[in-house]
Amino acid sequence: MYDLFSDFFDSFDVFPVYREETRCPNCGRTYSDFQKTGKFGCSECYKAFEEPIARTLRQVQASSEHMGKIPSTASEGIQKKRKLKELKDKLTTAVKEENYELAAKLHKEIKEMEG
């Protein structure tokens, strides 16, 4: 049987070799099974293989956090909401770190965006 995913993953050196054949406690699949098929057995696999998944994501993309894409035809409203959320997150971090100068700047920028 031809294994499309195995050939695909073998052609790129993005998946770290995960030598410990830890099994998912729920479905029994291993990380090697994922590398061969490109699929996990269940939702618990994400917890069982958290470390190799994170390493793989860091190699494939800049962040392990999924940000999604905004289509070029999307309204400015979606982009504005995303930018506001980003600014508010940065503001929260600045306040926690007691960086009040940056917090004031971010607060002003948020108020200008909100009108």
3-state secondary structure the chain: CCCHHHHHHHHCCCCCCCCCCCECCCCCCEHHHHHHHCCCCCCCHHHHCHHHHHHHHHHHCCCCCCCCCCCCCCCHHHHHHHHHHHHHHHHHHHHHCCCHHHHHHHHHHHHHHHC
Q: What pLDDT score was predicted for residue 88? A: 93
Q: What was the pLDDT predicted at 1?
A: 47
**Total Cβ atoms within 10 A of residue 8:** 10
Task: Out of 18-32, 62-76, 97-111, pick the least confident.
Answer: 62-76
**% of residues, the chain, pLDDT over 70:** 70
Whether 77 shows a pLDDT value over 60: the answer reads yes
Mean pLDDT within 33-37:
85
pLDDT value at residue 80: 85
The pLDDT value given to residue 105: 94
Least confident of 19-23, 67-71, 109-113: 67-71
* Domain limits, the chain: 4-60, 76-114
